[in-house]
Amino acid sequence: MLNRRDLFVLGAAAGIALSPVAYAQSSFPDRPIRIVVPYASGSGTDNTARHFSQRVAMATGWTVIVDNKPGGNAFIGINDVLRSPADGYTLLYTGGSTHGVNSALFKKLPYDPLRDFVPVAPALFSPMVLLASPSLNVKTAAELVDLIRKNPGKYSAATGSPFQQLAVNLLRQQGKLDFQDVQYKGSGQSMTDLLGGHVDFTMVDGAAAMPQVHGGKLKALAVTSKRRVAAFPSTPTMAEAGLPDIQLNGWAGLFAKTGTPEPVLGKIREVFNAYFQSAEYKQFLDANAGFYEDLSPAQMMDFIRSEIARAQSTFQRAGIEPQ
């Protein structure tokens, strides 16, 4: 007898909706489910949300809509979810910046990442990738670190997001390195200046690194995941490269507003987790420098607490005061 995950995979592969009988335990959902992405259309977070929401809709017959609400450090999208009823029809897709780094950068957030939201399911993890300007002519991460150590204060790191700030500050602190920071409004501009030799190195998420690395314009020197990733099979981990064993992954997951009924949460979790654990989704993540880890809601909450604590201690040691 096929279990529900088998039915899900068969339905997704055929591109058809499953029979409504499979979801007859309750009337949920009887209208569209909206997934709020607090970032612009075309971003990596947005692309992933559109991918899995479409596959879930195809397999279940549910109507799932991705609604981009960018701006204000993601506060606009988050507040949109908080103003919506806690009924499971409005979900939030976000990750390491809003539910980790922001707690270290702002004295007072207009939301509480631990109290205002409950985890539905983690969707992806992606390592940060260490990249150096071609003008430095370094071939390994060890060569880059050696260059920085021999010339304290001379070289500069580009950061285009709070998560990149966290990554380069962990490298600075754990590697006992002295370099400058150059901040940009986004990773795109920082990558342009890296290619142009205006900054010397950066640490950026895998999806943003892929076009330049696979196009031969930049060399990936190391990844911050525990293991190598399929998108960069020849790139060593930080530990393999002889650097401080920095394990830092960008991540994103689905959240519901606190107070959402548990039966509704259970149904949403079952359906989305079935796709997140499918072979098709693994292929998607492999092609986009990501990977999946099966975390329970309790494990996800513990993970978020640890992300917040690490960001706060890292920025405090770096002398970066919350705004």
- The string of DSSP codes covering 14-29 is HT-PPPGGGGTTS---
Q: Which residue has the tokens 């960008």?
A: 250
- In-domain check, residue 59: yes
How many distinct structural domains can be found in the chain? 2
Same structural domain for residues 122 and 133? Answer: no
- Does some domain include residue 150? yes
With cut-offs at 50, 70 and 90, classify the pLDDT of residue 252.
very high
Considering 171, 205, 223, which residue would you say is the last residue of a domain? 223
Long-range contacts at 145-149 (CB < 8 A, ≥ 24 apart)? 145/175, 145/177, 145/243, 148/177, 148/178, 148/179, 149/177
pLDDT of 242 reads 83
Other C-beta atoms within 10 Å of 151: how many? 11
Asked whether residue 240 is domain-assigned, the answer is no
**pLDDT value at position 26?**
61
Say yes or no: 159 and 111 in one domain: no
**58 and 45, same structural domain?**
yes
Mean per-residue pLDDT, 279-287: 96
Q: Using the predicted structure, report yes or no on whether residue 104 has a pLDDT greater than 70.
A: yes
Q: Is the peptide bond before 29 cis (omega within 30 degrees of 0)?
A: yes
Choosing from 188, 223, 258, the residue where a domain stops is 223
pLDDT in tens, 186-202: 778 888 899 999 999 99
- Whether the pLDDT of residue 3 is over 70: the answer is no
Mean pLDDT of the chain: 90
Does residue 5 form part of some domain? no
Residues 154 and 197 in one domain: yes
pLDDT at 323 over 70: yes
Buried b (16+ CB within 10 A) or exposed e, 128-141: bbbbbbeeeebebb
Give the burial class of 45: count Cβ atoms within 10 A of its Cβ; 0-12 exposed, 13-18 middle, 19 or more buried: buried
pLDDT value of position 246: 84
What does the pLDDT look like over 14-51, one tens digit per residue? 343 343 334 434 689 999 999 999 998 888 899 999 99
Residue 102 has pLDDT above 60, yes or no: yes
| pLDDT band of 243, cuts 50, 70, 90 | confident
Name beta bridge partners: 181: 157
Could you count the other beta carbons within 10 Å of the beta carbon of residue 215?
8
pLDDT at residue 15, rounded to an integer: 40
* 148-153: Cβ within 8 A, 24+ apart: 148/177, 148/178, 148/179, 149/177, 152/177, 152/178, 152/179, 153/178, 153/179, 153/180
Q: Which domain holds residue 175?
A: 127-223
Q: Are residues 62 and 196 in the same domain?
A: no
| Token representation of residue 104 | 């270290």
Is the same domain home to 119 and 137?
Answer: no
CATH of the domain at 180: 3.40.190.10
Chain center to CA of 24: 34
Domain limit, last residue, from 208, 223, 238: 223
Q: Quick one: what percent of the chain has pLDDT higher than 90? A: 80
Q: What is the DSSP string of 102-146?
A: HHHH-SS-SS-TTTSEEEEEEEEEEEEEEEE-GGG---SHHHHHH
Specify the DSSP class assigned to residue 161: S
Query: With 50 as the cut, is the pLDDT of residue 2 above it?
Result: no
Cβ–Cβ < 8 Å for 132, 212 = no
Residues 261 and 113 in one domain: yes
Residue 260 lies in a domain: yes
What is the CATH number for 56? 3.40.190.150
Same domain, 38 and 68: yes
Same domain, 90 and 131: no
Residues 195 and 120 in one domain: no
Whether residues 86 and 149 fall in one domain: no
Predicted TM-score (pTM) of the model is: 0.87
Give the residue among 115, 84, 92, 83 at the shortest CA–CA distance from 37.
92
Q: Among 5-9, 168-172, 179-183, 272-276, which stretch is predicted with the lowest mean pLDDT?
A: 5-9
User: Are 134 and 207 within one domain?
Assistant: yes
Q: Specify the DSSP element, H or E, that contains 64.
A: strand 64-68
Per-residue pLDDT band at 10 (split at 50, 70, 90):
very low
> 61 or 174, which is more confident?
61
- Which stretch of 113-117, 176-180, 270-274, 319-323 has the lowest confidence by average pLDDT? 319-323
